[in-house]
Amino acid sequence: MAIFDGDDTPWAVTKRVFSARYQALTDTISRRIMHRTLKIGVSARIFHPEPGSTGLRSKTLQYLEESIAHWVMSRDVMVFMIPTVNANSLLHPSNIRLRDYAKHLDGLVLQGGADVSPQSYSSTPTRPEWNGDRARDMYELELLHEFFEASKPVLGICRGCQLINVAFGGTLYQDIASDVPNAIEHVSALYDSHRHTVTFPQGSTLAALFSNHAEPVVNSIHHQAIKDLGRDLTVEAVSGPDNIVEAIRYRKARFVMGVQWHPEFHRAHGADLLDCTPILDQFLRAARETRF
């Protein structure tokens, strides 16, 4: 007759076997999740129909600028453009919502493009050409909200940086040259070849990330800029000559960050412009860590 004592009872042995198998299964699932290719969403630029046009110019177009997609994909992740949604469409109704994209994707990049409308921060355009794109603002603000609520990381580029500030209650200079007369030129006919130095405040994340860069240089393609900082946001970078805000981070999230320059136009390991791959890697690391 077999005698079992303590942990050697049949029930205890069976429990240990199932526990070990369960642990092995969960370890396997965790490894697969961690090694699954990341899926990053990028907000769409919007081309609105031009009056009197025919063909594609008479339609609403949503698109990606090639460099932003290729920059994110350079770290071997998949990129998906997130279109606007319209539940009330009479032509093609759908039950898909932006929160569905936030649920199934691992992170969000808000790409650059048209001005943010002053209406989006309760202001009035001081000139007609600074009306911005209110329709895109509403779409991207909802998109940002859904990814934020899903605890997914968000990286804003140029306009995207400004939109993050507005989303948390901040305001913008509608035109740097008009509103900050002593500022340097932040946009010119040189487009992405126009550049200036930036500095990282002591104690900021970017100061630690780029501690070996004495005078980093970035491109500059914006005539709007952050004026009043939104709640719970901190300044991560300013332009060297005039202290215009060049990067921000939201303090109460794992990763919600905006940079005013276009890192996708910087060459990796380039000697002239700041190699922003570490920012991308930090964003993607947050995406891996928050997908559980």
In angstroms, the CA 180 to CA 255 distance is: 30
Catalytic residue among 140, 236, 264, 266: 264
Catalytic residue status for 48: no
In the 8-state DSSP scheme, what is residue 130?
A: G
Catalytic residue among 186, 196, 222, 262: 262
Sequence-ordered list of residues with C-beta below 8 angstroms from that of 18, at least 6 positions apart, any chain: none
**Amino acid letter, 134:** R
Catalytic residue among 158, 161, 186, 222: 158
Please say whether the beta carbons of 287 and 153 come within 8 A. Answer: yes
Catalytic residue status for 269: no
Q: In what order do the strands lie in the sheet with 245-250?
A: 78-82, 39-43, 107-110, 154-157, 256-259, 245-250, 233-239, 195-199, 217-219
Q: Where are the beta strands (DSSP E) in 141-188?
A: 154-157, 172-173
Sequence-ordered list of residues with C-beta below 8 angstroms from that of 259, at least 6 positions apart, any chain: 155, 156, 157, 158, 161, 236, 237, 246, 247, 276, 279
Catalytic residue status for 276: no
Please say whether the beta carbons of 119 and 141 come within 8 A. Answer: no
- Residues marked active site are found at 158, 262, 264
